Amino acid sequence: MKSDEQLWEICKEIYRQMFKEANPSADFDKLMMTGESKKDQFFMKYYLSSDRQDEIIEEILKTHKLRNWEKQKIRFEVHLGCSPNTSEKTWKEILNAENEKRPEGLRP
């Protein structure tokens, strides 16, 4: 049986891979260190399909010896936590709104 701390480390491993593959790509550890991850719904600025997120979760879970309930706990934590946005439409809307807030000379 794994401790909550050990399960959280596995969650972070999953988040690292998800944000690495997200659009735009990001370093999850850097997001945490810089405080970006403390901003309200920071994860909505990143997109990764739900299918790919599920694949990443299952790939990483296979590398750890876990009980079924521990795997389920991790799945819930990742999906309900701060995984990247799974809606490309919403992600684009958020990016457009962010760009409109920037001064005109700083817009992409």
Give yes or no for a contact between 48 and 88, defined as CB atoms under 8 angstroms apart: no
Q: What is the pLDDT of residue 105?
A: 54
Give ∠ CA 37-41-44 in degrees, rounded to 5. 100
Range list of H helices, the chain: 4-21, 28-34, 50-62, 68-80, 88-101
Whole-model pTM? 0.84
Q: What is the pLDDT of residue 106?
A: 52
Residue 47 — φ and ψ, nearest 5°? -120, 135
Domain boundaries, the chain: 4-101
Q: Collapsing DSSP states into helix, strand and coil, what is residue 105? A: helix
Instruction: Dihedral sign for Cα 53, 19, 34, 100, please.
Output: negative
pLDDT in tens, the chain (108 residues): 889 999 999 999 999 999 999 999 999 999 999 988 888 888 888 999 999 999 999 999 999 999 999 999 999 999 999 999 888 888 888 878 877 776 665 545
